[in-house]
Structure 1
Amino acid sequence: MYGSHPGLTDTDGDGVSDSVEYGAGSNPAASDTDGDGMTDLYEVTHGLDPQDSRDALKDKDGDRIPNIYEFQRGTQASVAGSLPAADITVNPAFVTENATQKKTIMAAVNAADAASGTHKIILVKSGTYDESVYLGTKAILILGEAGATPPTIANSSSSASLSLQVEHAAVDGLVISHDPGAYEGRGVYVYPSGNSDQVRVANCVIKQNFSPNGAGIYQAAGDLLVQHCTLFNNENTYQYGGTGIHVEGVGRLQLLNSIVWNPEYDPEEIQVHAANDLVEIEVRRSIILGAEHAASGADPLLDSAGVPDPASPAVDAGVVTAATKVLRDITGKLRDVPPDLGAFEASVDTDTDGLSDAWETAHFGGLSQTGTGNDDNDGLDNLGEAAHGTDPGQADTDGDGLSDGNEVILHHSDPALADTDGDGIPDGYEIAHGMNRW
């Protein structure tokens, strides 16, 4: 079936025996079954999926470093304390520049492009940067320094403030905008060379950008993951296409735990737009003006910085998936469980048990519970129930015949969805009959 060698226990020599690969569903005759740039051994070791090429830019341990960067740099994708150091630091206050210190983001990008090796990491210190940043030569991760005043790109030109045009380009923790004096300019322009090339934008505020379409994000190609981002106060100057996000070609967009709220030009205008039938848009646990793509349309009650009011419907509305986490918000604040939507965490946890007051009160009527409690004895503690959006009083929240704990721990299916892969067959039936529930 797989073309493995009957005389070898590890046909492809990737460190995972043929029998273990068969059990994991990976190919024992290929060292990287899904072709995502990470070996099957690394993926199996760190709880990644060797059959899912889209987990390359996800973040298993929530430490802001995507899995593929951890693999390439020799750190552990499943351990938050194991992460690579930044290659270059950007700070406008630097007096002198050298190979590892730059005053502008593009100076750091150019240095990273010229250096040997790939999957470079640039740390951007707090400050305002009037520039247009282009990632198009090699895979680079731009990390904004977490703090009370996140670094801001306030571009005064008509170019996009950030262009992501190479596979595995990623950004986390920036405010991406245009200077008020700019006549026009998109926030983020996504156009990698391959339609399946992955790009990631996480924990970012994208605001005050102006364009005929895709003022917040214009995606011309590629597979884009937008996670815990707030897109607001962007304007489509000619009312064409999506104001927040516009997707062209055969682009694929995943929008998770985010807010898209851009009513300035015309509240009736499309916020997240697929330009044709070939575009794929997947929205989960997000607020979008107009309730597009089956998202919530409730006003997120944002202040001028994009921070939700404590009474906002964005508070505690997020979900933590097993595949990708964002443990802290754009300021470095630890996210509660369940997390808030968008780049900022606004919820309150008075008793510091990891459970937000609102969630704990809604489910238990007060703050007497702990994160490790498990009243329904389903194998998933309260922290797990809150993270996965399940009911701590129901052992099988989605009624698919599998306990919430077994779905998360054993089967890696969604305990809040009876049919994780949306094929019309409940997870319980698929598990019982050895079918693929993804």
Structure 2
Amino acid sequence: MNISTPNSPSKNNKSILKTILTNLTFWVLVSIIVGILLGHFSPENGVKMEVLGKRFVDLIKLFIGPIIFLTIVLGISGMGNLKKVGRIGIKALTYFEVVSTVALAIGVAVAYLFQPGKVDKSKLTLGDASQYTNASAKDFSWLEFFLSNFTLQVLLAAIVCGIALNFYQKREQTILVLERFSKVVFTCLKYVMYLAPIGAFGGMAYTIGKFGLQTLIPLGKLMLCVYLTMALFVFLILGSILKYYKISILSILKYIKEELLLVLGTSSSEAALPSIMVKLERMGCSKSVVGLVIPTGYSFNLDGTSIYLSMSVIFLAQLYDVHLSFFEILTVIGILMITSKGAAGVTGSGFIVLASTLTALHKIPVEGLAFLLGVDKFMSEARAITNLIGNTVATIIISKTERDFTELNLDPVMDE
């Protein structure tokens, strides 16, 4: 007779297997792998899976508005100090600008060091870049940027409502209603996230099926440089910032691994926005800081996009053998410091920003964007992941500097 004791290997193995099979991260990873295989070996069927990825992201987007609104309104109304709202906002925007500029500079430095543009143009695949070539730096409008950015609109409305709620006579009753509604929204989100593997599968199958792994070969050097630079930025720059506050970047990456895999599968950092807000609060960041920093960061703190844009400009300069003086390089960084803020949330906006930057520089042919179109989709994952990590770190840092971080929550959460 085979009798298993409570600590027997068979029970331990069953427990481990059960943990793995009920782990969302595991299923998202499996879905990504299956999506890659389907897209590679059956491109036609892979492309058909696009609807799964799109519908999942669309479903998640339904939660973005309510979650941002409720988090900010409840956060501001719970602060009782309106000066703190302004201080957090200014501190966040300052941090975004400094770190994004560092990202731009690193992108330029690595591009000059490894020279990804020193390749034979005749071997590169051309795409149709005609829709972007007429863009100009003068075409950028902050009003249009605001009107096309739903996240910013909700952010502004929530701030106004949060401030107004502080002066409302029935403030406590209103807060109670909002808190109940917030619990309902987050509970619904929890169940929707069970569909994440389906969304990741659809997004990855479409990407591989549509563009094919073979498109990576001609521009492989640029891709490697972009991924390397973003890894350096995450571990060296963001890691050093966190280390100053005695937090490990590896522990943070482990904690948000589900969100990172979801972004990898869907190529959309928006897919992880609601759940990353939940996790940051759970970690110890205050509701008010999370509510103000994350939505603002999704529009103004695009570290991955900054790296990609600056490297792309230098790549095209090298491709066309255009020498840029030190002053012109500073000009590129200066232009991108402003125009890169408009690269959020709109498909193809990155190419519009690149086109407007090249137009303002008057040295690099704008038609060069056609060389980037084929491989851009494969770099969007790296941009989105780096943007997500950058905003996660920013929220932790702002919360720490505001002394609004619950240290007791950190260790138990990191150990999970």
TM-score (norm 2): 0.23
Q: Which has the higher strand share?
A: 1
Q: Which has the higher helix share?
A: 2
